[in-house]
Structure 1
Amino acid sequence: MVTVAPPDTCTYALRLPHDPRAARVARMTVRAALHGHGMVEIVDVVELLTSELVTNAYLHTKGPASLRLTALGEGRLRVGVWDSSPHIPAPFDEPPGGRGAQSTLIKPTPADAESGRGLFLVQQYATSWGGWSFGDGPLGRGAGKLLWFEV
Structure 2
Amino acid sequence: MKLLSEKELFQLVNKISIEYFGKAFIDEVIFNSRLRTTGGRYLPSKRLIELNPKYYVEADEDEFVGIIKHELCHYHLHIDGKGYKHGDPEFKALLRLTGSPRHCKPLSSNMDKQKHQYKCINCNYVYKRQRRVDLKRYRCGKCRGKLVKVS
Q: Same fold (TM over 0.5)?
A: no
Task: Tell me: higher relative CO, structure 1 or 2? Use CA pairs within 8 A at least 6 residues apart.
Answer: 1
Bigger strand fraction: 1
TM-score, normalised by the number of residues in structure 1: 0.30
TM-score (norm 2): 0.30
